[in-house]
């Protein structure tokens, strides 16, 4: 399995991008904040799976 770097938002919108950007979801707690770099291979993102 390939480690693909991606950027994710942990503000609640579950946004994922393959390039650095800011959160685009207005209802998200982190709207307008830069997404966080992640390189997980299982979509776990930070090992944080709370729904």
Residue 17 vs 28, nearer CB to Zn ion:
28
User: Cα separation of 46 and 49, whole Å?
Assistant: 8
Of 38, 42, 39, the closest CA to residue 3 belongs to 39
Q: In whole angstroms, how close is the CB of 3 to Zn ion at the nearest point?
A: 10
Measured from the Cβ of residue 8, the count of other Cβ atoms closer than 10 Å reads 20
35 binds Zn ion (CB under 5 A): no
**Which of 2, 4, 40, 50 is close enough to bind Zn ion by CB under 5 A?**
40
**According to CB under 5 A, which residues from 13 to 32 bind Zn ion?**
13, 15, 23, 25, 28, 30
């Amino acid at each position: 399995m390939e480690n693909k770097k991606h950027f994710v938002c942990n503000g609640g919108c579950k946004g994922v991008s393959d390039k650095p950007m800011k959160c685009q979801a207005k209802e998200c707690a982190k709207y307008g904040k830069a997404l966080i770099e992640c390189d997980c291979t299982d979509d776990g993102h930070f090992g944080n799976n709370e729904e």
